[in-house]
Every structure is written in C-alpha cells, then in structure tokens.
Amino acid sequence: METLLLYILLGIIQGITEPIPVSSSGHLVLAQILFGIESTDASLEILLHAGSLVAIILFYYKDIKDLVISGLGYIVKPSEDKKPHFMLGLKLVAATIPAGLIGLFFKDQLTASLTNPRFVGFALLYTGTLLFISSKLNRPTKKPSQFTFLNAILIGLFQAAALLPGVSRSGSTTTAGLFQGFERDFAMKFSFLLFIPIAIVVIITGMNDIVANPSFAQLWFPYLISTIVSGVVTFYALRVFKHILKINKIQYFAYYCYTVGLLTILFIK
C-alpha cells in the first residue's frame, strides 16, 4: 500500500508539473531521490508522460481533429480553408526535428542526467530565468497567420533543450513563442501540440526498456495507477496554466523554479 501511495504521488507530481512550466522530469528526479525510489531506467517517466499525452490529446481534441481531417484532406483535395491546418501540421513536423535528433543520438547521456539532482537544480534556475523574462514582455504583436517555419524551428530548438531534466518543456516552448511576439493562447497551443509527436516517439522507443525492466512485473499495478493519475491531473492542470498565462502571472512560476533550484543545489546530493 505504501508503494502504491508513492506512485500515486509521483503521478500527481507529473500531472501538475507537465503543463505547469516547472519541469515534470526535474520534479520526478527529485521526488524519486527524496522518497528513495530506485529506478535503473526511464520506464516510470515514460509511462507517466504517456498519461500526460492522453490528457493533452483530449484537451486539444478539436485542434488535433482539424489537423488530421483538414490537414490530410488538403493533400487529397486542396482548398483555402484546409491549407492553414496543413501548413500548421508541417510546421509541427519541422519543430519536432531538433528534439528528435538530440533524443536519438544522445539517449544515454540524457538518461544519465536523470540521476543528477545538482544538474536539475541549475536547469531549474535556467527555466526560472526564461519564465521571468517572458513575464516582462510587452503584449503580443503577431497573429498565428504570421507564424513561419523559422518560428517553428526556433521553438523546436527550445524543446530540444527541454529534454534535460529541470528544463521545463512547456515553459521553454511557450516562452519561445512569446519571445517571438505571438499571442499567448497560440504559443501555448503550439507548445502542447508539439509535445504530442515527440512524446509518441519517446514512448515507442522506450517500450523495449519498459519490457526489459526487471521491476516491471512486480510494479505493473502501481505503474498503471500512477499513469492514470498523471493523465487526470494533467488535464486539469492545463486549464490552470491556460488561465495563468492569460492573466500574465507566469512570473510566480519563475520564483518557484528559483527557490526549488537553489534548495536542490544546496541541500540535495
């Protein structure tokens, strides 16, 4: 029962910190260290991200539906009303490439960083700085119709940096959109749509690690429950983040990242 409660807690942490820009991977590293949960690979993190993935797909269901139906429909029968969805799909693909390449060629190094709390601490300071700067930006000046492939690739580079634990993926990609002058709602939507393809790739490529994990047979039930909890909490945390971004109070997340980052560097070995 104690083990199950710990994994439920990890699911809650993942669910809150995936949409909220404070780094879910960094918090999972710290939580596993603080609660003494030993993991020889990234199986648990992959499964928890799978829960978040389902929640994000449900939250942006209409946008994803438009991307699939209208975007692919444009290939079969081009029309002006379908073209924006088709082009957005291409830009999502382009933005996925940087993180995909880094994840492919540096998988072992990224996995090794999951056990280094001091690295997480410094990465949280970096995340806090991104959030603080973005909170001081003027009101957006660009519309979604002005979004180019270059804009998408720049956001993709920020996502690549967020493969490191402690660097918030949602914070990095959303602020990358804000830095380029786009509306907050569009920056957030592109950020989370961008999470979908990279998460699918990570889950598929990580399936061998999950199956080979000697602990999986004994812990499959806590893994399952924590994944479900992660998905439910993620869905509602997305609503919270959308509201906070709308009222431009993102600087509070920066203060939080600075606090946790400094405490981690000073006190967690």
Sole residue written with tokens 């404070």 = 22
Does residue 198 contact residue 96 with C-beta atoms inside 8 Å?
A: yes
Domain containing 87 equals 2-267
Q: How many domains does the chain have?
A: 1
d(CA 117, CA 122) in angstroms, rounded, equals 9
Distance separating alpha carbons of residues 115 and 30, to the nearest angstrom:
9
pLDDT at res. 113? 59
Q: pLDDT tens digits, residue range 98-131?
A: 988 887 777 666 666 566 788 899 999 999 999 9
Give the tens place of pLDDT for each residue, 198-256.
889 878 888 887 777 777 777 788 889 999 999 999 999 999 999 999 898 999 999 99
Q: What pLDDT is recorded for position 38?
A: 65
User: Could you read off the pLDDT of 37-74 as tens digits, one per residue?
Assistant: 765 557 788 899 999 999 999 999 999 999 999 998 99
The pLDDT value recorded for residue 208 is 80
- Residue 121 in 3-state DSSP? helix
- CA 182 remoteness from chain centre: 19
pTM for the model stands at 0.90
Please tell me the chain's helix, strand, coil percentages from 3-state DSSP, rounded to the nearest 5: 80, 0, 20
Enumerate the β-bridge partners of residue 142: 182
Task: Identify the DSSP state of 145.
Answer: G
DSSP state of 182: B
